[in-house]
Structure 1
C-alpha cells in the first residue's frame, strides 16, 4: 500500500513537471533501457520532497517508467493494428503464475462472448463473467460498446452452474419479451398500413406517403403496406435507440472526449445510432460532458427515488431550525436526528454543514450528553452521491478541494466535541456514518442494524479517522476486511469487534436505550466532560493528523478517473433499476 501511495505521489509530481519517463533522456529510444544518470538525478531530487530514501524513490520511478514503456508499446500496437491490450484480474485458481500480470490482446469491435470463450479456453475456466468498473459486461454486445478501451482492467469472475443456468434463463426471457414487443409493433403498423384514409381521421389515424412537397404518392397497395411497415420499424427503432444511447454518448464524451471513431457501416444499425448520438455532442469539453452526464443521471436517480420529504423540523432550545436535521433538547439530552428518511438519511453538502453547526450548538448548550440517530428505518446511508454531480466552474479539482475542506471540518467537529457523544443506530449505517463511530463514546444499535464501508468499491478511501480507530478497536485484519474489502457487519459482529457498545432487540430498542440515556444525563455534567477530555487528550493530536492524511488521500481519489468511473457506474446501475 505504501509503495502504491509513493507511486501516486511521484506520478502527480511528474505530471506537474511534464516529465515523460518513457522518452529520452529517461529511456533509450533504441533498446528501451533506462537512462540511469538522469533517473538517479530525478530520484535524488524527489527523495527530500517525499521524505523517503533515494533508493526507494528510485525503485518507484523505475517501476513507473517500465509500466509507461510497456503501455507505450501497447498504444503503438493499438494505433497500427487496432488490437488492444487488456489486463485480466483472474481468480486465484485461474492464474498460471501468481506473480505476473495476465494480459489479453483483442480487437474492441468483437462480441464479449468471443472474449469470454477465449479466456475460458486459455485459463481452463468453465463459466465466467467479465466485470468492468463494477458493471457486468453483456455477452451479446461488443467490447467498445460497453466502455472497454485499450489498457482497460477487467475482472474475471467464476460463475456457478446454478448462476449460469439462471443467466441463460434471464437471457431467454429477455429475448422472448423483445420478440413479443416486435410482434406488437408489427401488428400495429400492419393495421395502419391497411387504412387508406376513408375512415374518420380523428378517431381512426392512418399513414400516408408523400413527396417532398407534401403531395400524396400513388403506390400499389401491397408495396405501400411493405413500405409503411419498413419505415415504421426504422423510425421507431431510431427513436428508441437515440433516447437509450444519449446517456451512453455523454459518458463516452466525458471519459474519452469527442467522437473520433469511424462511422459504422450503413447496415450496422445499432452501432450507427450510438455513433450518431456520440457524434452529435460535437466538441463539448470532457468537463462539460461530465457535468451534463451527472445532471442527467442525477435527475434519473431523483425521479426513481421520489421526493425527499422530511419530518417537520422542530427548533432546538436555541430556536435554530434546520432543513435536514431534527435537533431537540429534553431531559438534559440534545438529540441530533438525521432527517431525510425518504433518502435513507444520505448526507448532502447542506447536511454536512448543518451537522457541524448542530454540534457547535450542542457543545455550548446546557445539555449533559448529545445523541445522534436517524429518522425512519435507516440510521444513515452515507454520502448522497449526487454531491459528486455538482461540479463547479473550476472543474473536478475545485470540487475535490471544497469537498476536502468540508470533510476536514466535519470530522474535526467530532474530534473536538467536549461532551459525551452517543450514537443510537436505529437501522443500517453506511460510509461516513460508520467511520465516525470510532469517535463516539457509546454506540448502541438495534439488532437489525448493519455497518458497511464500501470505499474501494466506489474508488475512494477511508475517512472519519477510521484508518486509525478501526485497527485500534478491532485489529488490523478485521479493519482491513471493512475498509479495503467492503465487508458488511451485522450488529452482533460489530459489537463483538468493539465498534458497537451493545445490541438491543428491535422491539424494545428505543425504550431500553432512552431509559438508560436519561439515567446517564443525571450524572454530574462537569465530571463527565472532564473525564472525556482526559481520555481524548491522549490521542487528540494523533486524530487530527490522521484526519488530515485521510482528507489529502480522498482529494486525490476524487480527482481520479477510477473514482469518477466507479461513481458513474453506481449511478448507471441505479438508474436502470
Structure 2
C-alpha cells in the first residue's frame, strides 16, 4: 500500500494517509507526498485530508527520526514541515481535516492547520510533545493560542493530555465533532457543499481570515475592500444576486 491515496471527484480532492500500521505517522516520504498532493489541479474546489484505519495521524514517525542531531531536527522542520503547513495555508481551496481517530503531536497540528476541522466523536487531540521532552512544533505554538486562547493553549501544551473531539469542539479548537456512525457521510456532505459554492469568494474568505492575525484594523479593512471588489467583478456574484432575487439555488461556475 502506498503512503497516500488520492481521489478527485466532483471538484473534491480527498487525500488519505495510508500507513495504518503505524497510525499514519509522518515519515519523511509521507510529508513529501502530502506536499505534492496539496498542489491540486484546476477544477479542484475543496481538499480533504484524512487518515486510513483507526487513527488520523500519530505525528512524527519516531522510528524515522531516531538519532537525529539538533541540526538535522531544525532542517527537517524548516525544509519538510514548514512547506507542508504553508501549502495548506496558501492553497486557494478550503482544506478540510476529516479527523477519523487520534491526532497526536505533529498529527494534531497538521489537522489544526487546516481551514476546517471536522472530527468523529471517536477522535481525540493530544499535544503529547512534553511527554517525550519536546515542545509543540508543526505550528503548534502559533495555532493553539489563536484557536483556544492563551490559558487553554498553555494547559494543552504543558500537560499533553488527550482531549476528546467533543471537548475540542466545545472549546473552539475545532469546528465540529459528529457521531462516528455518520462521520464519513457528514464530512462528504460538507465538502460537497463547499465544492458547490463560489470558488473566488471562498478562496478570498480564506485569504482574508488567514491574514487577519498579522493585521491591524485599518490594514484588514483595506484588504477586505480589495478582495470584496474582486468578488464583485465575478460572474458568480451576479449569479448569486440573481438567484437570491429569483428565489432559487445559485449555480456557481467559478467564473
TM interval, shorter chain, is 0.7 to 0.9
User: Hey, what's the Cα distance between the residues in 2 that align with 1:498 and 1:385?
Assistant: 29
**1:443-479 superposed Cα distances (whole Å, 9 cap, x missing partner):** 1111110111111111111123221221122121211
Q: Which residues in structure 2 correspond to 1:252-267 (within 5 Å)? A: none
User: Hey, what's the Cα distance between the residues in 1 that align with 2:71 and 2:139?
Assistant: 23
Could you say if the C-alpha distance between residues 445 and 401 of structure 1 is closer, same or farther in structure 2, counting changes exceeding 3 Å? closer
CA contact (8 A) 1:420 1:532 kept: yes
Larger Rg belongs to:
1
Partner of 2:196: 522
**1:199-257 superposed Cα distances (whole Å, 9 cap, x missing partner):** xxxxxxxxxxxxxxxxxxxxxxxxxxxxxxxxxxxxxxxxxxxxxxxxxxxxxxxxxxx
Partner of 2:42: 365
1:386 is the counterpart of 2:63: yes
- Of 113, 127, 146, the residue aligned with 1:472 is 146
CA contact (8 A) 1:340 1:346 kept: yes
* TM-score normalised by length of structure 1: 0.36
User: Hey, what's the Cα distance between the residues in 2 that align with 1:397 and 1:484?
Assistant: 22
Q: Is the partner of 1:493 in helix, strand or coil?
A: helix
- Of 403, 422, 428, the residue aligned with 2:76 is 403
CA contact (8 A) 1:415 1:540 kept: no
Q: Is the partner of 1:377 in helix, strand or coil?
A: coil
- Of 77, 85, 108, the residue aligned with 1:434 is 108
Could you say if the C-alpha distance between residues 464 and 438 of structure 1 is closer, same or farther in structure 2, counting changes exceeding 3 Å? same
* TM-score normalised by length of structure 2: 0.78
Partner of 2:248: none
User: Hey, what's the Cα distance between the residues in 2 that align with 1:469 and 1:426?
Assistant: 20
Give, in angstroms, the shift of residue 490 of structure 1. 0.4
Give, in angstroms, the shift of residue 333 of structure 1. 0.4
Partner of 1:501: 175
- Of 7, 12, 18, the residue aligned with 1:333 is 12
Could you say if the C-alpha distance between residues 397 and 502 of structure 1 is closer, same or farther in structure 2, counting changes exceeding 3 Å? closer
- Of 5, 23, 28, the residue aligned with 1:349 is 28
Give, in angstroms, the shift of residue 500 of structure 1. 1.6
**1:3-34 superposed Cα distances (whole Å, 9 cap, x missing partner):** xxxxxxxxxxxxxxxxxxxxxxxxxxxxxxxx
Higher-strand-fraction structure: 2
User: Hey, what's the Cα distance between the residues in 1 that align with 2:70 and 2:119?
Assistant: 38
Q: Which residues in structure 2 correspond to 1:229-308 (within 5 Å)? A: none
User: Hey, what's the Cα distance between the residues in 1 that align with 2:171 and 2:186?
Assistant: 22
Give, in angstroms, the shift of residue 397 of structure 1. 4.4
Partner of 1:445: 119
Gaps of 5+ in 2: 216-255
- Compare relative contact order (CA 8 Å, sep 6+) and give the higher one, 1 or 2: 2
Partner of 1:54: none
Could you say if the C-alpha distance between residues 455 and 526 of structure 1 is closer, same or farther in structure 2, counting changes exceeding 3 Å? same
CA contact (8 A) 1:419 1:528 kept: yes
Partner of 1:110: none
CA contact (8 A) 2:121 2:178 kept: yes
Give, in angstroms, the shift of residue 506 of structure 1. 0.9
User: Hey, what's the Cα distance between the residues in 2 that align with 1:462 and 1:493?
Assistant: 20
1:415 is the counterpart of 2:89: yes
Partner of 1:183: none
Q: Is the partner of 2:65 in helix, strand or coil?
A: helix
**1:136-192 superposed Cα distances (whole Å, 9 cap, x missing partner):** xxxxxxxxxxxxxxxxxxxxxxxxxxxxxxxxxxxxxxxxxxxxxxxxxxxxxxxxx
CA contact (8 A) 2:111 2:117 kept: yes
Give, in angstroms, the shift of residue 398 of structure 1. 4.5
User: Hey, what's the Cα distance between the residues in 2 that align with 1:426 and 1:525?
Assistant: 26
Give, in angstroms, the shift of residue 365 of structure 1. 2.9
Q: 489-498 or 513-522, which moves further after superposition? A: 513-522
C-alpha RMSD over aligned residues: 1.8
- Of 463, 477, 486, the residue aligned with 2:160 is 486
User: Hey, what's the Cα distance between the residues in 2 that align with 1:398 and 1:462?
Assistant: 17
- Of 52, 60, 63, the residue aligned with 1:375 is 52
Q: Is the partner of 1:376 in helix, strand or coil?
A: coil
Q: Is the partner of 2:145 in helix, strand or coil?
A: helix
Structure 1 moving runs of 4+ over 4 Å: none
